[in-house]
Amino acid sequence: MHWSDVMAQRLAQRGDKHIVATGITPSGEFHIGHLREILTGDMIARAARRAGMDAELVFVVDNADPLRKVYPFLDESYEAFIGHQLGSIPAPNDEGKPDWDRFNNEGWSYGDHFLQPFLEALRQIGVVPRLLPNLEAYQDGKFSKAAKIACDNPAAIREIIERVSGRELADDWFPWQPLDSKGSLDGLTITGYDYPLVHWTDCHGESGSSNIEKGEGKLPWRLDWPAKWGFNHITCEPFGKDHGAAGGSYDTGKEIALLFGHEPPAPLTYEWISLKGKGAMSSSSGNTVGPMEALRLVPPEILRFLVANSKPSKAIEFDTGMGLVNLADEYERLTARDFDAEMTEENLSRRKLVQLEDAKVALALSSVDEQDVASSTSISFRHMALLAQIKPKDEDVWTSLRDSGSLTEPTPQLKDRLKRMRAWIASEHFPEDMRVNICTAPDKEAIQALTDEQRLVLLHLNQTLVEADWTTDGITAAFKAAGEAAEVGMRDVYRACYALFMATERGPRLAPILSNCERGAILELTQASTGA
């Protein structure tokens, strides 16, 4: 059974109405690791709906979290905002400096700045969750009930955290973090509690009171999380493995949730996505591929497939090079198969059946449109990569595909794919192995590997190419003429040509490529080969 169905089955035992939560702190540029969080939630919700339940996906924006440090992309003036909540400080402008104008006029915050592009990426990938901004939830008093229970029972909370996490809390620890005189959550000392006020002194020598019902502070993360489960009625939540560890925040959270008076959600721990060869994705180190960048290169359904086809417990290595080609081609091949028919075959082993089922579900989950079943484009990623390189104009690509009978009219999906393909080819991520490279000088080794007859072809080619019309047909005719003159078959002609032009034994059809190359350079290359 596919992992999303396993999860749906678990949910079915709890009830038939579900809210699947995801949550991210908008502290910096979002990356595809965050995409796994959202897509995992999205796929669970889809699986639940497929199983006949009512399921909604929500996205908690943790903009009540404080700025932890001055990241490399920030101006040092952000030093003053450390400890301040992400939803209440200005966004960085192009130079990394606080953009006060937008903040004052439009209320454009640090959190908004990083959230917006991510939401756009989500839309493209077919995920439109209900947003739950956390800072606003505090200000609206949604945390009041849980905050009161926590502040009324600090000993009980402390006991849970210390026992479950095995960590000792400071003597002056209190289950509420007030905002200080400057708006920071750091460096305060709690001096007393009088519902609904938490009294404090800060590091500036000021003192004051924080109303826990009005968002004048927040719950520490280990309480904040279970509190949200309650008033948002969360029944399921996938989260990164950091939260899933024994003694981690889910473990303490599920006990604290009971204290707050509700059941913890069904958990699902997922592994990180790392960048192939570059280690874990991290916003602060700049070692990221942003969702927008990824989507510029990769069709959304392929990105979905990557997540759908990997069990959550498996770490994913995101490879923007050959790995992507293989992934996309596997996806293409799967769309062309008829799983229902294959599953009715006799003598299917249980193992094989499981494999077919999982592939079928993963494919369905990869579709950007939930109602839509992925249709086969019957054009492999490889092939498209080749055409995009050979044909600078889109129309020529479609003509070529029409001629080979693989298409009548390009669908919007295909046009979209070609657009992304061109971006990919132009980027640093495009693998060298896939690049069509025409030699600038004869490759001696490749030419020496030819037979005498084949080398003879090159000699004649020198002549026939000079006389050729510089078009696909003209060049093809020149190849043929050279073969006839050398009295060898076309197989030898092509062997010789690939050795000369690409230093390979085989390759894509040469004539169309050469017709797009500069004639003089090719003739020069041919001439030089006869001396080699």
Partner RNA sequence: GGGCCUGUAGCUCAGUCAGGUAGAGCGUCGGACUUUUAAUCCGAUGGUCGCGGGUUCGAACCCCGUCGGGCCCGCCA
Name residues contacting RNA, limited to 163-222 (CB under 7 A): 165-167, 177, 185, 220-222
Q: Does 444 bind RNA (CB under 7 A)?
A: no
Cross-strand bridge partners of residue 287:
282
| Three-state secondary-structure class, residue 190 | strand
Pairing mode, if any, of strands 54-61 and 130-133? Answer: parallel
Least distance CB 329 / RNA (angstroms): 7
Q: Does 63 bind RNA (CB under 7 A)?
A: no
The rounded distance, in Å, linking the Cα atoms of 174 and 165 is 17
Binding mask 253-292 for RNA (x = CB under 7 A): ----------------x-xx------xxx-----------
Verify binding: residue 303, RNA, rule CB under 7 A.
no
> Is residue 42 a contact residue for RNA (CB under 7 A)?
no
Smallest separation (angstroms) from RNA to the CB of 387: 5
- Contacting residue, 411, 509, 518, 521, with RNA by CB under 7 A: 509
**Shortest approach of RNA to residue 6 CB, angstroms?**
7
In whole angstroms, the minimum distance from the beta carbon of 380 to RNA comes to 6
Q: Where are the beta strands (DSSP E) in 310-397?
A: 316-318
Among 98, 215, 226, 244, binds RNA (CB under 7 A): 244
Number of residues that bind RNA (CB under 7 A): 83
- Give 371's contacts (C-beta < 8 A, 6+ positions apart): none
Does 476 interact with RNA (rule: CB under 7 A)?
yes
Extract the tokens encoding 83: 């400890």
- 390 binds RNA per the rule CB under 7 A: yes
Contact 374, 333 (CB under 8 A): no
Tell me the closest approach of the beta carbon of residue 327 to RNA, in angstroms: 8
Q: Does 434 bind RNA (CB under 7 A)?
A: yes
Residue labelled with tokens 């502290």: 27
Could you say whether residue 239 binds RNA (CB under 7 A)? yes
Q: Applying CB under 7 A, which of residues 98, 230, 264, 512 lies at the interface with RNA? A: 512
Q: Is 29 in the site for RNA (CB under 7 A)?
A: no
Closest CB 343 distance from RNA, rounded Å: 13
DSSP labels, 267-335: EEEE--EEETTTEE-BTTTTB---HHHHHHHS-HHHHHHHHHTS-TTS-EEE-SSHHHHHHHHHHHHHH
Least distance between RNA and beta carbon 307 (Å):
12
Cβ proximity to RNA: between 105 and 303 the closer is 303
User: In the bound complex, what is the minimum distance in angstroms from residue 104's beta carbon to RNA?
Assistant: 27
Q: Is 394 in the site for RNA (CB under 7 A)?
A: no
Answer for the pair 229, 21: CB distance below 8 angstroms, yes or no: yes
* Span from 12-20, 137-145, 397-405, 461-469 in contact with RNA (CB under 7 A): 397-405
Least Å from the CB of residue 196 to RNA:
19
* 109: β partners: 90
Task: Name residue, tokens 């595809």.
Answer: 32
Q: CB of residue 167 vs RNA: minimum separation in angstroms?
A: 3
Cα–Cα distance for residue pair 43/64, rounded to 1 Å: 27
R_g of the chain, CA atoms, integer Å: 30
Compute the residue count for the chain: 532
CB environment 307-334: b (16+ within 10 A), e (fewer): bbbbebeeebebbbbeebbebbeebbeb
Question: CA 94, CA 3: separation in Å to the nearest integer?
Answer: 42
Judged by beta carbon, residue 180 or residue 293, the one nearer RNA is: 180
Q: Is 124 in the site for RNA (CB under 7 A)?
A: no
Kindly tell me which of 62 and 293 has the beta carbon lying closer to RNA: 62
Report the SS3 class of residue 92: strand
Q: Phi and psi at residue 316, in whole multiples of 5°?
A: -110, 130
Q: Which residues lie across from 208 on neighbouring strands? A: 200
Stretches 89-97, 208-216, 431-439, 524-532: which one binds RNA (CB under 7 A)? Answer: 431-439
User: Is residue 37 at the binding interface for RNA, with CB under 7 A as the rule?
Assistant: yes
The strand order across the sheet containing 130-133 reads 130-133, 54-61, 17-24, 236-240, 266-270
Q: Does 68 bind RNA (CB under 7 A)?
A: yes
Q: Does 502 bind RNA (CB under 7 A)?
A: yes
What is the smallest separation between the CB atom of 72 and RNA, expressed in angstroms? 15
Q: Please tell me the distance from the alpha carbon of residue 22 to that of residue 40, in angstroms, as a whole number.
A: 9
326 binds RNA (CB under 7 A): yes
In this complex, which beta carbon is closest to RNA, that of residue 37 or of residue 94?
37
Hunting for tokens 């995101």 — which residue is that?
A: 318
Among 355, 411, 451, 471, binds RNA (CB under 7 A): 355
For residues 4 to 23, the per-residue mask of contacts with RNA, x marking binding by CB under 7 A and - elsewhere, is --x----------------x
Task: Report the site for RNA in 86-115 (rule: CB under 7 A).
Answer: none
Tell me the C-alpha to C-alpha distance, in Å, between residue 105 and each of 75, 85, 139, 273, 407. Answer: 21, 19, 20, 38, 52
User: Based on the number of CB atoms within 10 Å of its own CB, is 465 exposed (0-12), middle (13-18) or buried (19 or more)?
Assistant: buried
Q: How far is the CB of 165 from RNA (least distance, A)?
A: 4
Interface with RNA in residues 335-354 (CB under 7 A): 349, 351-352, 354
CA-based nearest residue to 302, from 342, 269, 334: 334
